[in-house]
Amino acid sequence: AQKITQTQPGMFVQEKEAVTLDCTYDTSDPSYGLFWYKQPSSGEMIFLIYQGSYDQQNATEGRYSLNFQKARKSANLVISASQLGDSAMYFCAMREPSSGNTPLVFGKGTRLSVIA
Amino acid sequence: SQTIHQWPATLVQPVGSPLSLECTVEGTSNPNLYWYRQAAGRGLQLLFYSVGIGQISSEVPQNLSASRPQDRQFILSSKKLLLSDSGFYLCAWSVKGLNYGYTFGSGTRLTVV
């Protein structure tokens, strides 16, 4: 079964508008970490934001915020004031504790295109 | 500060030829190391990961192998490449622990012809 689901293969947003990229996850473990990465056309993977399952507040990093709804098992990425440089693939990922060495499980990604 | 080096950046290899991709990490010790493959426009597929020297976990049975001869060195190999091995290969490292994500290398774009 898919552990990370990103239901939007592609999204368009107007420059300077906000956009929400969806991510739902599946785990029975109470302790886990959620991550978002950005992959521009160059291929590099850039870490954006992290949310721990026990964090009381939604994570924020500059223009990025994570809308964490634990009961719904969703961890949507919100990008405010979109810029042309935000056009990229965005991946949601989860890490479950086990020994703390468990690999990240990635979703299939959402391609965001910012329109001028 | 920690850095990760991955090379080469691009590679074109004929079918049946061997492969060796290398990844090294600087500025940390005893990292977790990972190899991922990404087909064009697709998500990341975990190939191998290692939590220590000589310890390799394989996620996908295929004609690829991985080795970790030194603490901060991770090598992806194949004896005979297939067309289906084409893709974008990414190496990554992480600190051990739940709260830590990955730092990725710049990737190798492999085309098997």
Decide if B89 touches A, using CB distance below 8 A. Answer: no
Alpha helices in chain A (DSSP H): none
pLDDT in the model for residue A1: 60
The answer to whether residues B28 and B3 touch, using CB atoms and an 8 Å cutoff, is no
Low-confidence spans in chain A with pLDDT less than 70: 1-2, 98-101
Radius of gyration of chain B (CA): 13
pLDDT in the model for residue A74: 97
pLDDT in the model for residue B96: 79
Which residue in chain A is spatially nearest to B58 when comparing CA positions?
A: A103
b/e A19-28 (16+ beta carbons within 10 angstroms → b): bebbbbbebe
**Which residues of chain A are within 8 Å of residue B101 when distances are taken between CB atoms?**
33, 35, 37, 47, 50, 93, 95, 104
pLDDT in the model for residue A31: 87
pLDDT in the model for residue B11: 97
pLDDT in tens, chain B (113 residues): 888 999 999 999 999 999 999 999 999 999 999 999 998 777 899 999 999 999 999 887 678 999 999 999 999 999 999 999 999 999 999 987 767 789 999 999 999 99
Identify the helix (H) or strand (E) that includes residue A36. Answer: strand A33-39
B8 cis-preceded (ω within 30 degrees of 0):
yes
